[in-house]
Structure 1
Amino acid sequence: MAGEKDDLGRSSDVYVSFAFAAADVLLETDPDGNAAFAVGAAMALVGRGARALTGQPLRKIIHPSDQDMVAQALAQMVKGERVRNILTRVLLPDGKAVTVALSGYRHPGNPERLLVALSHPGGLPPLATKRAEGAAGVLDKDSFQAMAAQLLDAAPPDEPYQLTLVELPDVAAFHAEGGEATQAALASELGNRLKSLSVGGDAVGQLDDGKFGVLHSASVSPDKISESVTKAAQVVMPDAPPLEAKLATLVLDVADIPPEEAARALTYTLNAFAKDSANGGDLATLMKDLQPRLSATVKQMNDVRQTVASGDFNLMYQPIVDLWTNVVHHFECLVRFKGNDNKSPYETVAFAEDVGMAGMLDLALLERAIGTMRSNVANTESLKFAVNLSGRTLSDPAVVKKLRAILATTGDLRKRLVFEMTESADVGDLVAVNDVIQSIRKQGHEVCLDDFGAGHAAFHYLRALKVDNVKIDGSYIKDAMKNNENVSFIKAIVQLCTELGVSTTAEYVEDAETANLLKLLKVRYGQGWYFGKPAHPASDDIRTAWKTQTLEWRKGLLYFKG
């Protein structure tokens, strides 16, 4: 035993082995928080040599805004807890701040001292994220979800992270009793305590009023989180009744899907619950349902991935007709999943968008359509085809890179390959999306904005995105013969598009009367069952493949019989 104690007392040996394994700079701090010993590449990391750190208070190099957080982390170490990868900012001698990862634990041979490691943050997310307004220092919902994506990617496979949701049902009464100053003090105290328990020291998000999410390691128990809430309230208002927290903890065991998709599954699951909460859901329901929801989401994501990988889907083709000439302008390529050719794929496609898999699906459909266009059944200049691209796809740099690579090989399909931008959720960076659209158009491909007038695809899209065609949402076309307001809307869209040099398409054209009305309103193209239902080519012979009860060839062009 004496030999073991002697070994533990040799700080330099402990630090040198630890340094090469885990950190750039190793410190041993005394009970007053001073660096009693330092070793490592301190100059490269914190702008001063290891000797210059020795004898100096650790707080001296910590950014003032992060000192409370670091103090909490050191307090955890004093209690015997291990702290891993707390992101904090240190001050360089010139006053500039750099982000480092801080880890540590109590010295095994001297309980009055701490072993503290500083290292480059590597793949951990940066501190420069958007903070919530309601709680000092914690992330807002979107930033929290973005950080979750990076943390789950970096999580050790044998120790999955956990998510604890914290609900404070009595916080409003607590604030009312203490006033604004108390509210601000509680927000600061609670934020710092929760962050000190989280992965990287910054993985805390405010999801709603009085509701927080904490990403943490398995070593941090829900009881510790609950205790932190209680202590934060006691520090701010010692005489007030205890502030109780309701907790729900989820183990983020998502080994069955790629790590970059794990956070998407979690986000989708949480958003689905949030919608249910509006209908009376509470944290007790979440505790019971969240793990099954996540498992079901992971399974559904795997199903989509398998469908794409195996090519277990079909394309069907619906004609879009020039209302003024009856010539088929192009066919829209519509996905149908095998075994469900007569069932709308909307739910699967919308799910793929929500969990960030739309790009994977879109590119698979694009490659299938390109194959069809080059095959004997469709390889003619008179047949054009439109492929849908989600706004999410056009917003994802990784997917856009793959899209550009595909389009670099489609010079033979210029003027024949058309794209429709679809969107079931709002697109954040329209400038970036427009840049992608313009590069597509420069390569000779028309771009259409789908479902105009429905949901998010509204006038600000048309202002931000330069396109060739606007497809008016079918909800305005269905009742156009009976609804003067819809007619007025269609007129306004056509007039605006005409002034912008953009053509228009009307979907859901079901009869000749509607088609004639649209011609009078100067809509250029029509799509709907009146012209033809989505269908597979009737044969492998191009001369007969596209002939139907409504379509026929005339002088090398496909016409609607009318």
Structure 2
Amino acid sequence: MPVNREDLGRTSDVYVAFAFAAADVLVEIDARGETVFAVGAAMALFGRGARGLVGQSLRRIVHPLDQPVFDRALAQMGQGERVRNALLRVLRPDGKAVELTLSGYRSPSDAGHILLALGHPGGLPAAARLAGTNLLDRDSFQVMATRLIEGADPDEPYQLSLVELPDLPALHSETGGTGLSAAFAAELGQRLRTLSVGGDAVGQIGDTRFGVLHAASVSADAISDSIARAAQTALPDAPAISAQVSTLVLDVADIPPEEAARALTYTLNRFAREAQNGGDLASLMKDIQPRLSETVRQMNDVRETVETGSFDLVFQPIVDLWTNAVHHFECLVRFKGNDNLSPYETVAFAEDVGMVGMLDIALLERAIEMMRSPVANTESLRFAVNLSGRSLSDPAVVRRLREILATTGDLRKRLVFEMTESAEILDLKAVNEVIQGIRQMGHEVSIDDFGAGNAAFHYLRALKVDNVKIDGSYIKDAMRNDEDVSFIKAIVQLCTDLGVTTTAEYVEDQQTANLLRLLKVRYGQGWYFGKPQRPVGDDIRTAWKTPSLEWRKGLLYFKSGAGGA
């Protein structure tokens, strides 16, 4: 079979496009919009063979309502922009509409041609849309924006415009008829989508508020003008509608694209939360650019802390309430320059912006280094390292964790883990598989802060662990609050039935420790047994001794009656 030299020249572009979009069908169109080359599973995707597309206009099979999205995407590609995973519908020969994703860019070998990649949207998260405008809801918009920003060209950062239409409620009441309002909503949604990256990066984040992710070539004036035209088209007799537009420049030059996307999501969530709490929208919109810049600065601080190792570990004893032996020490982080401050806010921020994995791994590596040093290298000393539930949900972090644990055979039984979580774990089954892998390697796993927030009873059903640490809020008032005592009893009984031990934190005095013994709690942690400390010197015999702790027959013990020293 003769080889077409033109196709040979095109082959590299085709493979680049496949790699770019993992597409089902690749199409090349010329300056007139006609298909000059097509390959892939076109019949399965939209009921037509790939060869049958050649010489035809692809636009003719796009759903009429989505043709503006298609046209806008082609215009962006023609200007040299890359479009990724725009959602639109095409019509099969039987008239059925099929949703697919469209990606593409200008051909590097022919500036007048465009390479398009079409595929099933199955790999994308399910998008929730709002009736009327057919725009993404807030959560789906954030997912879409995050994915697009991660794939953005660092030299051409996207922009996010937040739009407020304060006249919408009055407009609805004046027009009276739901048909007119529905027509305006549809027209508004369609026009905003055509301005956005990929033709679908628009979200309705409130009754009168919208977010539009767009290229730098789309100005705030263009957005305002598009909204005005939507009103003129759908409601020609209605009063003019005003739009307040505030634009964010999502400059990814200072941080990796995936972190820029997380910064956006974090900032948007704070923005939405404060707006819901009565914050003045105009002020919030003015403040959101510096908020985003501050978020990026904080993220850079976290990364620098990890990369430079600008943190220390301190160690707080967890004592066996039944024997007074020190069971292990919990490794707690202290960031340099903030030695006397709780690191909670920094760790919580790292969780919120998806950076806690790198922090967890850095702390684990530091703890392992310390455990192998002369000051701690003994079977008598065990240490617990915190791992966020979000870290255990991140495949990249889990891979790194497994790599590390493959080298820690010498620390089995000495290195234990506490799973912390400030937000609910979405895939408990997957996290449980990770936990069981850790346990099979010989490391115990505990659930931290049990009974607080998201760490609730259903965790015990889904996650098989060795220990549960009861949240300190129940321990603090146990001597004065019968309800807290009842709650502690319930946890202890449930854990006993499941073969899981219990630890109580915030044990601040001897009376509380005695009560916990009566309630059959096995371990205790708190200032009564000792504050977080650093080992003093390199001599293991003296480094861990304190006014409250002493060595006896090769084990560290809490001196009964010396609590709080």
Same fold (TM over 0.5): yes
Q: Cα offset for 1:509?
A: 0.5
Matched-pair contact (CA < 8 Å) for 1:70–1:196: no
Q: Tell me which moved more, 91-100 or 155-164.
A: 91-100
Matched-pair contact (CA < 8 Å) for 2:319–2:558: yes
Q: Secondary structure at the match of 1:415?
A: coil
Q: 2: distance between equivalents of 1:279 and 1:188?
A: 29
Q: 1: distance between equivalents of 2:51 and 2:439?
A: 61
Query: Which residue in 1 is equivalent to 2:362?
Result: 364
Structure 1 residues 49-74: Cα deviation after superposition (integer angstroms, max 9, x where no partner): 78744664534432x4xx42223553
Query: Which residue in 2 is equivalent to 1:7?
Result: none
Q: 2: distance between equivalents of 1:465 and 1:50?
A: 49
Q: 2: distance between equivalents of 1:543 and 1:75?
A: 73
Q: 2: distance between equivalents of 1:178 and 1:29?
A: 46
Q: Cα offset for 1:280?
A: 3.0
Query: Which residue in 2 is equivalent to 1:412?
Result: 410
Q: Cα offset for 1:75?
A: 7.3
Paired letter, 2:455: A
Q: Tell me which moved more, 508-517 or 400-409.
A: 400-409
Shift in alpha-carbon separation, 1:50–1:444, aligned structure 2, 3 A: closer
> Are residue 58 (structure 1) and residue 58 (structure 2) matched?
yes
Paired letter, 2:297: K
Paired letter, 1:383: L
Matched-pair contact (CA < 8 Å) for 2:40–2:50: no
Query: Which residue in 2 is equivalent to 1:108?
Result: none
Shift in alpha-carbon separation, 1:499–1:119, aligned structure 2, 3 A: same
Query: 7, 25, 28: which one pairs with 2:27?
Result: 25
Q: 2: distance between equivalents of 1:286 and 1:185?
A: 30
> Are residue 170 (structure 1) and residue 167 (structure 2) matched?
yes
Paired letter, 2:524: G
Query: Which residue in 1 is equivalent to 2:210?
Result: 212
Structure 1 residues 240-284: Cα deviation after superposition (integer angstroms, max 9, x where no partner): 223332211111113111111001111112222223223432332
Query: 139, 142, 154: which one pairs with 1:142?
Result: 139
Paired letter, 1:132: R
Paired letter, 2:232: Q
Query: Which residue in 2 is equivalent to 1:458?
Result: 456
Matched-pair contact (CA < 8 Å) for 1:314–1:338: yes
Q: Secondary structure at the match of 1:321?
A: strand
Structure 1 residues 355-411: Cα deviation after superposition (integer angstroms, max 9, x where no partner): 111000000000111111111111111211100011111111111111111111111
Query: Which residue in 2 is equivalent to 1:160?
Result: 157
Shift in alpha-carbon separation, 1:76–1:314, aligned structure 2, 3 A: closer
Q: 2: distance between equivalents of 1:200 and 1:381?
A: 58
Q: Cα offset for 1:92?
A: 7.3
Q: Cα offset for 1:192?
A: 2.1
Q: 1: distance between equivalents of 2:435 and 2:75?
A: 56
Query: Which residue in 1 is equivalent to 2:114?
Result: 117
Q: Secondary structure at the match of 1:120?
A: strand
Q: Secondary structure at the match of 1:315?
A: strand
Query: Which residue in 2 is equivalent to 1:44?
Result: 40
Shift in alpha-carbon separation, 1:511–1:26, aligned structure 2, 3 A: same
Q: 1: distance between equivalents of 2:556 and 2:104?
A: 68
For residues 293-308 of structure 1, the aligned pairs below 5 Å read: 293-308=291-306
Q: Tell me which moved more, 226-235 or 507-516.
A: 226-235
Q: 2: distance between equivalents of 1:132 and 1:386?
A: 44
Query: Which residue in 1 is equivalent to 2:347?
Result: 349
Matched-pair contact (CA < 8 Å) for 2:35–2:57: no
Q: Tell me which moved more, 348-357 or 336-345.
A: 336-345
> Are residue 324 (structure 1) and residue 322 (structure 2) matched?
yes
Query: Which residue in 1 is equivalent to 2:479?
Result: 481
Matched-pair contact (CA < 8 Å) for 1:316–1:336: yes
Q: Which runs of 5+ in 2 are unaligned?
A: 1-5, 18-25, 561-565
Paired letter, 1:99: T
Q: 1: distance between equivalents of 2:447 and 2:292?
A: 33
Q: 2: distance between equivalents of 1:76 and 1:398?
A: 33
Paired letter, 1:504: T
Q: Secondary structure at the match of 2:39?
A: helix
Q: Secondary structure at the match of 1:359?
A: helix
Query: How many pairs align?
Result: 530
Query: Which residue in 1 is equivalent to 2:23?
Result: none
Query: 499, 510, 513: which one pairs with 1:512?
Result: 510
Q: 2: distance between equivalents of 1:125 and 1:150?
A: 15
Q: 2: distance between equivalents of 1:435 and 1:73?
A: 43
Q: 1: distance between equivalents of 2:190 and 2:422?
A: 37
Query: 361, 370, 382: which one pairs with 1:384?
Result: 382
Matched-pair contact (CA < 8 Å) for 1:129–1:139: no
Q: 2: distance between equivalents of 1:51 and 1:512?
A: 82
Q: Secondary structure at the match of 2:127?
A: coil
> Are residue 545 (structure 1) and residue 540 (structure 2) matched?
no
Query: Which residue in 2 is equivalent to 1:130?
Result: 127
Paired letter, 1:328: V
Shift in alpha-carbon separation, 1:404–1:81, aligned structure 2, 3 A: closer
Matched-pair contact (CA < 8 Å) for 1:99–1:127: no
Structure 1 residues 101-145: Cα deviation after superposition (integer angstroms, max 9, x where no partner): 26689xxxxxxxxx77341269x9966532233455432323322
Matched-pair contact (CA < 8 Å) for 1:248–1:283: no
Shift in alpha-carbon separation, 1:81–1:495, aligned structure 2, 3 A: same
Shift in alpha-carbon separation, 1:251–1:78, aligned structure 2, 3 A: closer
Paired letter, 1:101: S
Paired letter, 1:471: K
Q: 2: distance between equivalents of 1:555 and 1:128?
A: 58
Q: Cα offset for 1:179?
A: 5.1
Matched-pair contact (CA < 8 Å) for 1:25–1:38: yes
Shift in alpha-carbon separation, 1:38–1:339, aligned structure 2, 3 A: closer
Shift in alpha-carbon separation, 1:324–1:193, aligned structure 2, 3 A: same
Query: Which residue in 2 is equivalent to 1:223?
Result: 221
Q: Secondary structure at the match of 2:205?
A: strand
Query: Which residue in 1 is equivalent to 2:258?
Result: 260
Paired letter, 1:386: A
Matched-pair contact (CA < 8 Å) for 1:46–1:91: no
Q: 1: distance between equivalents of 2:105 and 2:189?
A: 19
Paired letter, 1:256: D
Q: Cα offset for 1:328?
A: 0.7
Q: 1: distance between equivalents of 2:188 and 2:122?
A: 22
Q: Cα offset for 1:171?
A: 2.5
Q: 1: distance between equivalents of 2:101 and 2:348?
A: 38
Q: 1: distance between equivalents of 2:198 and 2:73?
A: 14
Query: Which residue in 2 is equivalent to 1:334?
Result: 332
Shift in alpha-carbon separation, 1:141–1:429, aligned structure 2, 3 A: farther
Q: Cα offset for 1:154?
A: 2.3
Q: Cα offset for 1:182?
A: 4.5
Q: 1: distance between equivalents of 2:513 and 2:468?
A: 17
Q: Tell me which moved more, 402-411 or 232-241.
A: 232-241
Matched-pair contact (CA < 8 Å) for 1:139–1:204: yes
Structure 1 residues 209-241: Cα deviation after superposition (integer angstroms, max 9, x where no partner): 222211100111122222222333333333222
Q: Work out the percentage of aligned pairs sharing the same amino acid.
A: 67
Structure 1 residues 131-171: Cα deviation after superposition (integer angstroms, max 9, x where no partner): 23345543232332222222222222232110011222232
Matched-pair contact (CA < 8 Å) for 1:92–1:98: no
Q: Which runs of 5+ in 1 are unaligned?
A: 1-12, 106-114
Paired letter, 1:61: I
The alignment's TM-score, normalised by the length of structure 1, stands at 0.86
Paired letter, 2:39: M
The alignment's TM-score, normalised by the length of structure 2, stands at 0.85
Paired letter, 1:43: V
Matched-pair contact (CA < 8 Å) for 1:385–1:418: yes
Paired letter, 1:318: Q
Structure 1 residues 497-520: Cα deviation after superposition (integer angstroms, max 9, x where no partner): 222221111111011011001111
Q: Cα offset for 1:186?
A: 3.7
Matched-pair contact (CA < 8 Å) for 1:69–1:193: no
